[in-house]
Amino acid sequence: MRRPDFEDLEVYQLAEKLANEIWHIVKGWDNFTQDTVGKQIVRSADSVCANIAEGRDKYNDQDNRRFVKISRGSLYETVSWLRLAYARQLLTTEQVNRFKPILDKLLPKLNAYLKSIGTRQ
C-alpha cells in the first residue's frame, strides 16, 4: 500500500503541526479545563487536518472542496477557542508565540489550496 499523498501537502503539514502543538499544551491543563475548553479546542484543531486528508481521497473536486471548506470552518473554530483560552489565562504568551506563526501561514494556504482544487492536471 502506498503512502497517502495528503501528507505531502504543505497545508496539511501546517494543520497537523498546529493540532500537535495544541495537544501538547492542553495535556498540561487541569481536569476541569481539559474537559471543557480542552476537548473542544483539540477536536476543532484535529478536524482541520482530518478534513484535508478526507477530502483529498474524494473522487471529485466538488467533494474535495466541500471538505476543505469544513476544514476552514474548523480552523476558525480553533482560533475562537484559542482566543477564549488566552482571555481565560489558560495560554501563556510564550505558547501563543509558538502557534501564532503556524496560524498566520495556515489560513492563506488553506484558501490557496481551496482555489487550486480542480486546476491540477
Q: Quick: pLDDT tens for 24-52.
A: 999 999 999 999 999 999 999 999 999 99
Assigned domain for 1 exists: no
2, part of any domain: no
Write down the pLDDT at residue 49.
94
pLDDT at 121 over 80: no
For 93, the domain range is 7-116
CATH number at residue 101: 1.20.1440.60
Which range, of 57-61, 64-68, 98-102, 108-112, averages the lowest pLDDT?
57-61
Confidence category of residue 5, pLDDT binned at 50, 70, 90: confident
Domain count of the chain?
1
Angle at 83 between CA 37 and CA 89, to 5 degrees: 70
Model confidence, pTM:
0.91
What's the rounded Cα separation, in Å, for the pair 35 and 110?
29
Q: What is the pLDDT of residues 66-99, one digit of tens each?
A: 999 999 999 999 999 999 999 999 999 999 999 9
Does 121 fall in a domain? no
Q: What is the amino acid identity at position 92?
A: T
Residue 103 lies in a domain: yes
For residue 14, tell me if it sits in a domain: yes
In a domain, 86, yes or no: yes
**Cβ neighbour number for residue 52 with a 10 Å cutoff:** 26
